[in-house]
Amino acid sequence: MTDFSYQLYSSRKFGPLEATLEMVAKCGYKQVEAYGGLYEDLDRLEKALSANSLIMPTGHFDLTLVEKTPNQAIEIAKRLGMTAVIVPFLDQDDRPGDAKGWTKFADRLSEAGKPILDAGLTFGWHNHDFEFNTLEGGEKPLDLILQSENGVSLELDLAWVAVGDESPVEWVKKYASKLVSVHLKDIAPKGECVSEDGWADVGHGTMNWSEIMDAVRTTNCSYFVMEHDNPSDDVRFAQRSIAAASKF
């Protein structure tokens, strides 16, 4: 059986960290993924992980932190037992408008990742939907970000691929060699789950999980991370998602 991970961002609006990790462990998760706000108290985080027999193999890190203080990012990652440092987002105002700009950003990302790679860790990018916008020359930003041999791996958020009007299966196949992790996220049928920004519990939405997971299993993907950007009930999301995903 696959060991599923849980992106703790899904529970950011709910109980304290200790209660969240206890809940996640009771649901059957063996791993969790961190986001930036959790690194402020590493002692607390380490203690709570240990108390619930959870590991944290991946974490999201702000690009500015990785660029300006790479040693700090490395120290955090290694202290928490991570194998992969993932940059998760680029603010809208910072997003390039053309292929030249995205190529420059890809170079910036690659350069930022060098100390991470030198420390023996994987360095990756997590997508949203904007990376699938077609540029004037027909290019897709994600293709430019993942230029061959630039050292940047991929955490593919499968639902955001679909929101970007692309096929998750095709992008899994396209970057199979760079795929380190996937985010398992689901999209509600149109008009449903409006209060949850249109997201669904994994396995209860419109994503074709059988086909997608068949493709993912042909890759060397190591981590399968459950995520919901705005659940009204994180316990419900955690329970229903792992129950469904265990049958994929």
Q: Is the pLDDT of residue 158 over 60?
A: yes
Give the pLDDT band of residue 133 (cuts 50, 70, 90).
very high
Q: What confidence score (pLDDT) does residue 149 get?
A: 84
Specify whether domain 4-245 bears CATH 3.40.470.10.
no
**Tens digits of residue pLDDT in 72-108:** 999 999 999 999 999 999 999 999 999 999 999 999 9
Report residue 225: phi and psi, to 5°: -110, 120
**pLDDT 10s digits, 7-63:** 999 999 998 999 999 999 999 999 999 999 999 999 999 999 999 999 999 999 999
Residue 200 phi/psi, 5-degree rounding, is: -125, 165
Q: Are 140 and 131 in contact (CB under 8 A)?
A: yes
User: Which band of pLDDT confidence, cut at 50, 70 and 90, is reported for residue 1?
Assistant: low
Q: What sign has the CA pseudo-torsion 60, 64, 67, 70?
A: negative
Task: Indicate the pLDDT class of residue 2, thresholds 50, 70 and 90.
Answer: confident
The full DSSP string for the chain is ---EEEEGGGGTTSS-HHHHHHHHHHHT--EEEE-GGGGG-HHHHHHHHHHTT-EEEEEE--HHHHHH-HHHHHHHHHHTT-SEEEE----GGG--SSHHHHHHHHHHHHHHHHHHHHTT-EEEEE--SGGGPPPTTS--HHHHHT-TTSS-EEEEEHHHHHHTT--HHHHHHHTGGGEEEEEE-EEPPTTSSGGGTTEE-TTSSS--HHHHHHHHTTTT--EEEE--SS-S-HHHHHHHHHHHHTT-
What percentage of the chain carries pLDDT values higher than 70? 100
Domain boundaries, the chain: 4-245
- CB atoms closer than 10 angstroms to residue 103: 16
Give me 59's structure tokens: 């974490």
Q: How confident is the model at residue 148 (pLDDT cuts 50, 70, 90)?
A: confident
Place 122 in a pLDDT band, splitting at 50, 70 and 90: very high
**b/e 135-174 (16+ beta carbons within 10 angstroms → b):** beeeebbbbbbbeeebbbbbbbbbbbbbbbebbbbebbeb
